[in-house]
Amino acid sequence: MRFLQRTCCFYTCLCLLGLCLLGTSTLAEEATLHGSIIDVETGTALPARLYIEATDGKLYHARSASPDGSAVEYNNQRSPTSVEVHTTLSAHPFAAKLPRGKYKVTAERGKEYFSAATDVDLTNGDAEVTLKLRRWIDTSKRHWYSGETHVHRSMDELPNAMLADDLNVALPLTHWVTQAYLPPTQGDKNSPEVAAKLIEIDPTHVIYPLNTEYEIFAVDGKRHTLGAIFALNHKTVFTKGVPPVTPIAEQAHREGALLELDKHNWPWSMMLVPIMDVDLYELTNNHVWRTEFFFKGFGEPPASFMNVARDRNGMTERGWLRFTFQNYYTLLNCGFRLRPTAGTASGVHPVPLGFGRVYVHLPDGFSYDAWMDGLDAGHSFVTTGPMLDVFVNTQRGGATLKYNNGQTAELKIWGWTESEYPLPRIEVVSMGSSVALDVTNTKTARGLFRNKIDTTAEFAQSGWIAVRCFEQLPNGRFRFAHSSPVYIDIAGKPYRPRKQHVNYLIERVKKELERHAGVLPEAALEEYRKALSIYEKIAETAR
């Protein structure tokens, strides 16, 4: 018996020793990266978004090294090449325990700083790094403030993520319904309950939490996709489901909310525009990411006149962007003056918060109410990278220039673009047609590229005009910015859209009417008939 006890004790000691040695071996195979992210000009710590990539492509997270700090890990992947793995950090030191080896460490902060990257070798043990971010533009000094209107991040994460990417306004969709007729009070994807009260992170970074997404994938428990629509900035929780959508539109507008068309090629989108009096159009939407483009075959197809680029897998990223633009221009040409906005659906897709964002011009300084009013007025531009400021005569985007019958509108289009990388193209867009401008890409002392916009145009009939630009990245990807339109109203000379443009809208609605027969209730079908009637009326004067 004593022999057995001694034997058991002996083997127990061996096992414990083995575990200790294993733990020591594991620790020996790891090293700690210590780091900080600072403003190169002031030396102060900055909140930022951090990427840690090993030589084998594996991605890692960091943690805050301060008891007062915070770190939010983000992991989202749609394909082997469409991946977003980062950590957003507060303005404190960070640390990361990593397998020994070599890494590339990159810090980014929103759109207004050059990224900072360095190689780190942890082969022989711990290392320390300081990433120095340098601002290339300060839009707030020019009275521009950024926001995003399609957000799926949790309320706990948003303060950290917004400061890390310097996003001034976020409108998280805290009520989210995916079933027809289900009210947001019973939303199947709702966040925890929130009050209709502004949350101030600091004086220029705010969250308005009561926003709703109807994203309908099923009717009566069966798969039957309708699409998505957002109500932003409403004051009470909606108690009705959709369809029909008219009661929601009426309540939203009564409460001072804005209605946002998510993606233009959801099945129901072209019905929503005239029926709900939609306010906002996502010119950069949740299929536009920092990582590789993924959704090559999503939704309703583009019309042939849009000339959308494709490859063997479907729409290219440039093709998707052109489809987005051309659909917007078609609606503008038919008299629907939707204001541009930007959304990423960060929290659902592999994309940082605010990768696509909308800047609103606030000449009297920042406030949430002023920002929402400016967004609604179209005093804005959207961007995934470059910055622009455009005037038509003396007016920025959203303005309407009025002329008497018989007058010719003589316009001066002027302003500037600034970007981290050179712009291969700057274009003036009018009624969907574009004209390329001269590009100089003058490099400034701060290292950014600047272009001057200075051209003229004449209008003999009503219309609209805007400016867009494209930025070429070293890795072959591209980014863009697009101004809000300025409208030209000449009395007695309305713009007559092309028949093929109006027919595209008509066919979109007709297709849905046929698909929904016997599925949707009569009140919902009547909304499609009404939309069809509106488009057919426009077609009567089309050319």
Under the banding of pLDDT at 50, 70 and 90, the label for residue 28 is: low
Q: What is the CATH number of the domain that holds 84?
A: 2.60.40.10
Give the percent of the chain with pLDDT over 90: 94
- CA–CA separation, 414 vs 399, rounded Å? 15
| Residue 261 shares a structural domain with residue 278 | yes
Check if the beta carbon of residue 142 is closer than 8 Å to that of residue 389: yes
- pLDDT grade for 290, boundaries at 50, 70 and 90: very high
Do 151 and 90 belong together in one domain?
A: no
- What is the predicted pLDDT for the residue at 215? 98
Q: Does the pLDDT of residue 1 top 60, yes or no?
A: no
214 has which bridge partners?
Answer: 177, 229
- 87 in any annotated domain: yes
Does residue 20 have a pLDDT over 60?
no
pLDDT at 3: 35
- 177, burial (CB in 10 Å: exposed 0-12, middle 13-18, buried 19+): buried
- 130-154: buried (b, 16+ CB within 10 Å) or exposed (e) per residue? ebbbebbbebbeebbbbbbbbbbbe
Same domain? For 81 and 162 the reply is: no
List, for residues 484-525, the tens digit of each pLDDT value. Answer: 999 999 999 999 999 999 999 999 999 999 999 999 999 999
Domains: count for the chain? 2
Around 338, how many Cα atoms within 13 Å sit in the side-chain half-sphere? 30
CATH of the domain at 234: 3.20.20.140
User: Quick check: 26 pLDDT over 50?
Assistant: no
Among 120, 135, 150, the domain boundary falls at 135
**Residues 220, 295 share a domain:** yes
Q: Which domain holds residue 118?
A: 28-135
Average pLDDT over residues 73-87: 97
Q: Could you tell me if 210 and 234 are in contact, meaning their C-beta atoms sit under 8 angstroms apart?
A: yes
pLDDT, tens digit (0-9, with 9 covering 90-100), for 131-168: 999 999 999 999 999 999 999 999 999 999 999 999 99
Same domain, 152 and 168: yes
Binned at pLDDT 50, 70 and 90, residue 5 comes out as: very low
Same domain, 84 and 168: no
Reported as a single tens digit per residue, the pLDDT across 200-218 is 999 999 999 999 999 999 9
How many CB atoms within 10 Å of residue 69? 17
Per-residue pLDDT reduced to its tens digit, 103-122? 999 999 999 999 999 999 99
Res 95 pLDDT > 60: yes
Instruction: Reduce the DSSP state of residue 373 to 3 states and report it.
Output: helix
pLDDT at 241: 97
Q: Residue 403: which H helix or E strand, with range?
A: strand 400-403
What's the pLDDT at 7? 41
Mean pLDDT of 447-469: 97
**Residue 466 in domain:** no
Among candidate residues 135, 161, 194, the one where a domain is terminated: 135
- Asked whether residue 304 is assigned to any structural domain, the reply reads yes
In this structure, are 262 and 354 located in the same domain?
A: yes
The span from the CA of 316 to the CA of 324, in Å, is: 12
**Could you tell me how many helices (H) and strands (E) the chain has, helices first?**
8, 35
| Residue at 504 is within a domain | no
Whether cis (ω within 30° of 0) applies to the bond prior to 243 is yes
Residues 54, 173: one domain?
A: no
Quick check: 479 and 384 in contact, CB under 8 A?
Answer: yes
pLDDT at residue 283 is higher than 80: yes
Would you place residue 452 in the very low, low, confident or very high pLDDT band (cuts 50, 70, 90)?
Answer: very high
> Mutual orientation of helices 246-254 and 269-276 as an angle, nearest 10°?
50
- Cis geometry, peptide bond prior to residue 521 (ω within 30 degrees of 0): no
- How confident is the model over 7-19, as pLDDT tens digits? 444 444 433 434 3
Longest dimension (CA), the chain: 115
Residues 296 and 336 in one domain: yes
